[in-house]
Amino acid sequence: LILVLLSLNLFLNWRVAFWAAVGLPVSFMGAFLVMWMLGATINLISLFGLIIVLGIIVDDAIVIGENIYRHIEEGMPPLRAAVVGAEEVMWPVTIAVLTTIAAFAPLFFVKGQIGDFMSQLPMVVLAALSISLVEALIILPAHLAHLPIKQQASASAKPPRFRRLKLFREGMLHGFLPGCYERLLRFALRWRYVTIAIAVSTLIMSYGLFAGEVVERVFVQKMDSETIICALEMPVGSTGEGVRTRLKTLSNLAVSMPEVSNVQMFVARQYDIAGAGSMGMNDQSHLGQLVIELHAADVREKRNHRSSEALLTVLRDASRKLPGVNSITWDAMHGGPGGKAIHIRVTGAGFEELLTVVEKLKTELKGYEGVFDLDDDFDKGKREVQLRLRESARPTGITVGMLGNYVRSAMYGREARRITRNRE
């Protein structure tokens, strides 16, 4: 607020600058009220939205305040100048604010976890801009209506020590800067085709920087992570010992790396650590999980150690050699929304047809550079034999449960008799 006030004082009358700057806390308080009504909180995203509108909020107040002050300088009574000055620029200022609101409004329609995060941003921006527009059109002219008229303002001269600063500012605003602007404007109007050509060529050059990836595109920037998570899945029915053996192989590899500080292993259990949105804990014998803690990013940078992405590449290559594994996925914990980068849901009438479509999708996605850890949520179990009774067996009194018990006894044996000896 202080920096905005100092900046406005360099170019505006100090009274106009003060009342224009007052619109900043008023707009923020109004935005806080709207946030409270809609259940929003002060967090990283909402604060970022307030920073975005910090310089936009005072724009409409500057335009309206300066136009009112212009009429006062021309001799119009302050009350009349407040009404006329605000009415003259009311629609241009309103349209300017509405175009900014229209630029942020589409963020309301982003779906998924990214949408949950980003919805706070347009809410804060729209609330602050709307309140600032109301403040600039209604409250600001009411304050500027009490400005002194031109004769009174000149009579109340500033002290001598401020006179030189005032003369310098007025010389810059009314002499040097308008002169430079006029010469530039006359040149642009005289050479209008050259001006248009320069504008179009600048636009083409900026598009070339973007299309040629000189300016990179990063949606959610990934920082160097300090936690790597491995989720292992074997065929349904696999024993915990088999899961432990394969996790131990990966754990030994991770412990041998100088970048790793700690490795934690979960057998027959997986936790939703990365926040993918599934259940918090999953206990099944064919599942396993590794949580690998790395040294701090700045410590690894000083020691010229590998980044988390480089370690992930090494660990992925090693995990591909493990036998008897349905799927194994690696993930590094980063800030921002969790979950997979690409998530496709397939529905259909026939289950076999779904499996065929999923395999075709996975084959297609493998062709894209940067795609890894492809997996589906179909759990393949071990081979099984399904037994059914013949129709001729039912009159004999044999049931499916009896048949199952006989087969189980043949596979695993059966306790025939229990004999007590010395209380044992």
SS (H, E, C) 359-382: HHHHHHHHCCCCCCCCCCCCCCEC
pLDDT value of position 175? 81
What is the overall mean pLDDT for the chain? 86
Residue 185 sits at φ, ψ, to 5 deg, of: -65, -45
Segment 388-412 shows an average pLDDT of 87
Residues of the chain with pLDDT > 90, as a percent, come to 34
Q: Is the pLDDT of residue 245 over 70?
A: yes
Residue 4 sits at φ, ψ, to 5 deg, of: -65, -45
Cβ burial of 91 (10 Å; 0-12, 13-18, 19+) is: exposed
| Distance, CA of 63 to CA of 44 (rounded, Å) | 31
pLDDT (tens digit per residue) in 47-102: 998 988 887 888 888 999 989 988 988 888 989 999 999 999 999 999 999 999 99
pLDDT value of position 80? 92
pLDDT value of position 256? 92
Q: Is the pLDDT of residue 130 over 60?
A: yes
pLDDT value of position 266? 93
| Distance, CA of 338 to CA of 346 (rounded, Å) | 21
pLDDT value of position 278? 46
pLDDT value of position 382? 66
Q: Is the pLDDT of residue 344 over 80?
A: yes
> Which residue has 């059914």 as its token pair?
388
CA 219 to chain centre: 8
Segment 108-117 shows an average pLDDT of 81
| Distance, CA of 180 to CA of 339 (rounded, Å) | 55
pLDDT value of position 392? 87
Q: Is the pLDDT of residue 261 over 80?
A: yes
Residue 35 sits at φ, ψ, to 5 deg, of: -60, -40
Nearest Cα neighbor of 152 from 72, 235, 54, 231 is 72
| Helices vs. strands in the chain: H and E counts, helices first | 17, 6
Strand 260-267 and strand 281-282: the pairing is: unpaired
Model confidence at 338, in pLDDT bands (50, 70, 90)?
low
Reading the block at residue 384, the tokens are 């099984």
| Distance, CA of 144 to CA of 309 (rounded, Å) | 59
CA 403 to chain centre: 58
pLDDT value of position 335? 59
Greatest Cα pair distance in the chain = 121
pLDDT value of position 277? 46
- CA distances for 114 relative to 106, 108, 250, 277, angstroms: 13, 11, 32, 13
Query: Which tops the pLDDT comparison, 151 or 37?
Result: 37
pLDDT (tens digit per residue) in 145-191: 888 876 555 545 555 666 777 777 777 777 888 899 999 999 999 99
Lowest mean pLDDT among 235-244, 268-277, 410-419: 268-277
pLDDT value of position 9? 81
| Distance, CA of 103 to CA of 12 (rounded, Å) | 29
| Distance, CA of 35 to CA of 29 (rounded, Å) | 10
